[in-house]
Amino acid sequence: MAVAEATHPGGTLLGAVFTFVLYGVGPVALVVYLMGRKARRTARARRDAAASGSPDGGGEAAADAVPPVRKEP
Interval 13-38: pLDDT, tens: 999 999 999 999 999 999 999 999 99
Q: Which amino acid is at 39?
A: A
User: Burial, 52: exposed, middle or buried (Cβ in 10 Å; 0-12, 13-18, 19+)?
Assistant: middle
Model confidence at 55: pLDDT above 90: no
More confident residue, 3 or 70: 3
Stretch 33-47: mean pLDDT, rounded?
Answer: 93
Stretch 3-14: mean pLDDT, rounded?
Answer: 91
How much is the pLDDT for 39? Answer: 92
How much is the pLDDT for 64? Answer: 64
